[in-house]
Amino acid sequence: ILMGGRLAEELVFGKITSGAANDIEKATGLARKMVCEWGMSEELGPLAFKNDGDQIFLAREVSHSNHISEKTSQLIDDEIKKIVMKAYQHGKELLTKHRKALDMLAEALLEKEILNSTDIDEIVQSGVASA
């Protein structure tokens, strides 16, 4: 979900702007928490690698504050990247598959400016049904 805006930009306009910078930061931070705090890494298993601050940076920052080995630090980086890229690819596939619903939502937003959950549900269901 966090990457949806960036993916829509890429899909619709064929280019990327800085508008999704905060979303990318949040997605990376969430992936970092999954790996470093919640033990949700296939490669590292159910271990915690917490740092002193609530930084969104990759493992390099963690290794300096907690004496984590360079090898483990690299594994943490790799796992964070894998999670973010997998989510990005999955989102891209979903938006591509449901492009008609995406376009219909964009048109409705231009027309109404604000959509409630009922509006969104109706548009998405209509777009999915006609795809």
Residues with pLDDT less than 50, the chain: 54-57, 60, 62-64
Is 96 strand, coil or helix? helix
What pLDDT does residue 57 have?
A: 47
What pLDDT does residue 78 have?
A: 96
What pLDDT does residue 130 have?
A: 61
Question: Over the chain, what is the mean pLDDT?
Answer: 85
Neighbour tally for 37: CB within 10 Å: 13
Q: pLDDT per residue over 77-92, tens digit each? A: 999 999 999 999 999 9
What pLDDT does residue 85 have?
A: 96
Contact 27, 41 (CB under 8 A): no
